[in-house]
């Protein structure tokens, strides 16, 4: 589907990440030379899984040391590249200082990578991994959008340092990307806006938010019920394909919502029950008043404002641009969930149920 010029290397920032792992794999399958920018190329254990997938694939992987907050540190990795995939950005909910832990690396890091693209003559295209979090902050926002659905025209205007700081970091970073891209004409910016990413990981022991949620879902803490939270989900393998298309299809452009299904946490749990009947998966919804009461005690990043503006609100995104313009087709989310849960079970990341 994609046509890669194999004589030019391709840069992937944050190559050790969950999303980036599958992008690297797809590029290696296509025979590309991947310049993998990582914080610590000396950490053999962290690079082990990328090295393992590279064995037997036609492409080549080369590591470069770079940090989002270290200005100019992506220059060596970007040299000679026509296409840059910028995925690196901190993704976690439990923060002490949102400015330094989330916003600075996201925004200054985007500026760092894109200004390096400005100085690197070979670059023709930059694909930035943004998020649906740059489109909405709380599910309640969606009811205010035209047709009560998220499209590429909508922007998150409800997040702040104090309320939903991760989405705030993503919307600021994406706006920074567009500002830099629109001030020049040599390279084209294509933005990918994924929903919540699920599916098996290249590094099964990754500590990202995606795995944290599914481990919680199947490990017992949600046995008594789950909050009525709507969510749009994308398989990490389909997301990698979307990135490749954004990087190499001439007509790819603008923002692109990458979501396979508009669903909910309860419906996601239900996809696991037929294959994993012994696991303590949630079967029912918790009443909103109970979530409001105990949610903040169970997890301090789940504030009462978050609960009021997200629990019980419908979640809907329009993925039609990705189908029409990137030619995306999406695998069923039950498959995504079952493959991911199987990996969590096989690697002993949740207790095996007794009996």
Nearer to ligand NAP, 17 or 282 (CB): 17
How far apart, in whole angstroms, are the C-alpha atoms of residue 27 and residue 138? 34
Residues of 212-245 as b/e, b for ≥16 C-beta within 10 angstroms?
A: ebbebbbbeebeeebbbbbbbbbbbbbbbbbbbb
| Minimum separation from the CB atom of position 170 to ligand NAP (A) | 6
Quick one: which segment of 1-9, 81-89, 153-161, 317-325 binds ligand NAP (CB under 6 A)? 81-89
Q: Are 127 and 247 in contact (CB under 8 A)?
A: yes
For residue 197, state whether it binds ligand NAP (rule: CB under 6 A).
Answer: yes
Per CB under 6 A, 87 contacts ligand NAP: yes
Tell me which of 4, 12, 19, 326 binds ligand NAP, using CB under 6 A.
Answer: 19
Rounded-to-integer distance, Cα 111 and Cα 117, Å: 10
Spacing of C-alpha 20 from chain mean position = 9
Q: How far apart are CA 54 and CA 23, in angstroms?
A: 12
State the nearest-atom distance from the C-beta of 49 to ligand NAP, in Å: 11
**Nearest residue (CB) to ligand NAP, 6 versus 111:** 111
263 contacts ligand NAP (rule: CB under 6 A): no
Question: Is 206 an interacting residue with respect to ligand NAP (CB under 6 A)?
Answer: yes
Q: What is the DSSP letter of 287?
A: P
Interacting positions 141-180 with ligand NAP (CB under 6 A): 170
To ligand NAP, the closest distance from the beta carbon of 196 in angstroms equals 5
Site string for ligand NAP, 54-73 (x = CB under 6 A): -------------xxx----
Q: Please report the beta strands in the chain, taking only residues with DSSP state E, as ranges in sequence order.
A: 10-13, 33-38, 60-65, 83-86, 125-129, 188-194, 196-198, 230-235, 254-258, 261-264
**Class of residue 355 by CB neighbours under 10 A (exposed 0-12, middle 13-18, buried 19+):** exposed
Closest residue by beta carbon to ligand NAP: 17
Say whether residue 257 binds ligand NAP (CB under 6 A).
Answer: no
Stretch that binds ligand NAP, among 83-91, 261-269, 301-309, 317-325 (CB under 6 A): 83-91
CA distance 103 to 271: 35
Stretch that binds ligand NAP, among 23-31, 49-57, 190-198, 311-319 (CB under 6 A): 190-198
Look at strands 261-264 and 230-235 and give their pairing: antiparallel
Considering only residues 27-46, where is the footprint of ligand NAP by CB under 6 A?
39
Burial of 347 from C-beta contacts in 10 A (0-12 / 13-18 / 19+): exposed
Minimum distance, C-beta of residue 287 to ligand NAP, in the bound complex (Å): 27
CB of 55 vs ligand NAP, minimal distance in Å: 21
Query: In this chain, which stretch among 193-201, 240-248, 325-333, 336-344 interacts with ligand NAP, using CB under 6 A?
Result: 193-201
Of the CA atoms within 13 Å of residue 167, those in its CB half-sphere come to 23
Residue 198 bridge partners (DSSP): 235
Site for ligand NAP (CB under 6 A): which residue of 22, 63, 85, 196? Answer: 196
Q: Work out how close the CB of 17 gets to ligand NAP at its nearest, in angstroms, rounded to a whole number.
A: 3
Question: Which of 49, 276 has the CB closer to ligand NAP?
Answer: 49
* Residue 215 interacts with ligand NAP (CB under 6 A): yes or no: no
Q: Are 134 and 193 in contact (CB under 8 A)?
A: yes
- The nearer residue to ligand NAP, 129 or 264, going by C-beta atoms, is 129
One residue of 110, 116, 120, 210 binding ligand NAP per CB under 6 A: 210
17 binds ligand NAP (CB under 6 A): yes
CA distances from 271 to 182, 204, 220 (A): 43, 20, 16
Buried b (16+ CB within 10 A) or exposed e, 46-68: bbebbeebbeebebebebbebbb
Under the rule (CB under 6 A), what is the footprint of ligand NAP? 14, 16-20, 39, 67-69, 87-91, 105, 129, 131, 170, 194, 196-197, 206, 208-210
């Amino acid at each position: 589907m994609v046509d890669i010029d194999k004589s030019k290397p391709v840069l992937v920032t944050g190559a050790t990440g969950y999303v980036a792992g599958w992008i690297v794999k797809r590029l290696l399958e296509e025979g590309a030379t991947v310049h993998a920018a990582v914080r610590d190329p000396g950490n053999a254990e962290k690079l082990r899984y990328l090295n393992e997938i590279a064995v037997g694939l036609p492409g080549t992987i080369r590591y470069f040391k770079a940090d989002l907050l270290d200005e100019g540190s992506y220059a060596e990795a970007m040299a000679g590249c026509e296409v840059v995939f910028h995925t690196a950005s901190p993704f976690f909910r439990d923060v002490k200082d949102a400015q330094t832990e989330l916003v600075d690396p996201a925004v200054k890091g985007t500026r760092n990578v894109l200004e390096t693209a400005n100085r690197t003559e070979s670059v023709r295209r930059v694909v930035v991994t943004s998020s649906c979090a740059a489109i909405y902050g709380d599910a309640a926002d969606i009811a205010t959008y035209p047709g009560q659905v998220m499209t590429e025209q909508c922007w998150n205007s409800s997040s702040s340092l104090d309320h939903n700081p991760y989405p705030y970091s993503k919307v600021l970073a994406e706006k920074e990307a567009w500002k830099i891209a629109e001030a020049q004409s040599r390279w084209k910016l294509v933005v990918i806006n994924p929903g919540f990413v699920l599916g098996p990981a290249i590094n099964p022991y990754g500590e990202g938010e995606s795995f944290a949620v599914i481990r919680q879902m199947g490990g017992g803490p949600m046995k008594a019920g789950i909050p009525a939270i709507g969510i749009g989900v994308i398989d990490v393998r389909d997301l990698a394909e979307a990135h490749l298309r954004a990087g190499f299809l001439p007509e790819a452009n603008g923002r692109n919502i990458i979501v396979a299904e508009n669903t909910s946490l309860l419906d996601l749990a239900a996809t696991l029950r037929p294959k994993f009947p012994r696991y303590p998966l949630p079967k029912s919804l918790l009443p909103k008043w109970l979530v409001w009461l105990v949610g903040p005690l169970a997890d301090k990043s789940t504030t009462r404002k978050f609960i009021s503006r997200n629990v019980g609100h419908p979640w809907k995104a329009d993925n039609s641009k990705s189908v029409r313009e990137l030619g995306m087709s999406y695998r069923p989310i039950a498959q995504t969930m079952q493959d991911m849960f199987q990996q969590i079970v096989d690697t002993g990341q949740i207790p095996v149920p007794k009996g």
